[in-house]
Amino acid sequence: MALSQFLDALNALESSAVRAFGAAADEPALESARVEFLGAKSGQLKSVQKGLGALASADKPLAGKRFHEVKAAIEGAFQSAKDRLASLADEEASTDDGGPLDPTLPGTPFTLGRLHPITQTIEELTEIMGRLGFSLADGPEIEDEWHNFEALNIPFDHPARDPLDNFYVAAATLGEKPLLLRSQTSTVQIRVMEAAKPPIRVISLGRVYRPDEVDATHYPMFHQVEGLWVDRRVTMADLKSTLRLFATSYLGRDVHIRFRPSFFPFTEPSVEVDFQWGDGWVEFGGAGMVDPAVLTAVGYDAEEVTGFAFGLGIERLCMRRHQITDIRELFRNDVRFLRQF
């Protein structure tokens, strides 16, 4: 065989192999190109190599050198095609499910977050009371003793102030003004009345803290909705009809409401508030007519105005509404539970 013929065959092989590897769009195409050009038994490179033996010995060094160049070029083209397909596969794996689009597969579901059931309850109660003309008020969760106790007519020696029944914060031991995590949202009654003159009609919804043993109905943090209405001639009948509207709006028209005589230092008279629908009465909180001592503590004229206040447990309302039997479910943050609401 003439040298020129051999070199022509090599050149032609190089360009068709480089083209084939460059064009391989997937693994099977690459593999069949590999077998065709680099196959150990009957690949084209192999058969061109056989022509080497048929050359004149004087031509062999040049032909051999060129053969090795072409072989390296073809192997290089194979390797870069392989790298190209691998990085393509990586890209697809990270952006999508890997394969070509199969329109018959179910779609990839995406999960939307949602509001916590307590947050949903707070929003709904705010809306209900808003319709009754109550605007939203807020207060701090870390409180001083004036707002949590004193102004609410809870004197220094009252058992409700026992350190074992409250979460006092460290500042108390540093000899500064004692602070505590508020144990009731009634603190906000004081803050609102200190800041504004009657008529007052507000609600406040938020966290309160008590060192209770944790069980199905107790948690050391929970939420209350506090209502306060102060004006001339506000009466117990206003309290009852407001709470009835509140209960029927949230729980349904068939709810009944009951007051049981009780005692709170900051209301007089005081009642426990029970709701009933379905099976039996459930206590939701306390209420009463604002004690004149409280009105006086915030600088109101107790001869001029009267008021009512109530404080109900938000978890109880939410649990009753959704038939949740264990308060701990609300704070476990298990999405299997939370996604039901």
Closer residue to ligand PHE, CB minimum distance, 17 or 154? 154
Closer residue to ligand PHE, CB minimum distance, 14 or 143? 143
Kindly list the residues in this chain that would bind ligand PHE in the complex (CB under 6 A).
Answer: 184, 186, 264, 267, 285-288, 309-311
Look-up of token digits 């689009």: 101
Q: Of 258, 222, 238, which Cα lies nearest the Cα of 308?
A: 238
Cβ within 8 Å of residue 25, ≥6 positions away: none
Closer residue to ligand PHE, CB minimum distance, 24 or 225? 225
Closer residue to ligand PHE, CB minimum distance, 37 or 310? 310
Q: Is the previous residue joined to 199 through a cis bond, with omega within 30 degrees of 0?
A: yes
Burial-class residue 316 by CB neighbours within 10 Å (0-12, 13-18, 19+).
buried
SS3 214: coil
Closer residue to ligand PHE, CB minimum distance, 38 or 287? 287
Closer residue to ligand PHE, CB minimum distance, 37 or 134? 134
Q: What's the min distance (Å) between Cβ of 179 and ligand PHE?
A: 19
Q: What's the min distance (Å) between Cβ of 110 and ligand PHE?
A: 42
Q: Which amino acid is at 338?
A: L
User: Are 49 and 67 contacting, i.e. CB atoms less than 8 angstroms apart?
Assistant: yes
Q: What's the min distance (Å) between Cβ of 256 and ligand PHE?
A: 20
Closer residue to ligand PHE, CB minimum distance, 6 or 246? 246
Cβ within 8 Å of residue 139, ≥6 positions away: 147, 182, 185, 187, 188, 191, 204, 206
Cα distances from 181 to residues 96, 145, 202, 231, 261, in angstroms, run: 49, 10, 22, 30, 28
User: Are 266 and 230 contacting, i.e. CB atoms less than 8 angstroms apart?
Assistant: no
CA dihedral 144, 148, 153, 157 (to 10 degrees): -70
In the bound state, the residue with its beta carbon closest to ligand PHE is 311
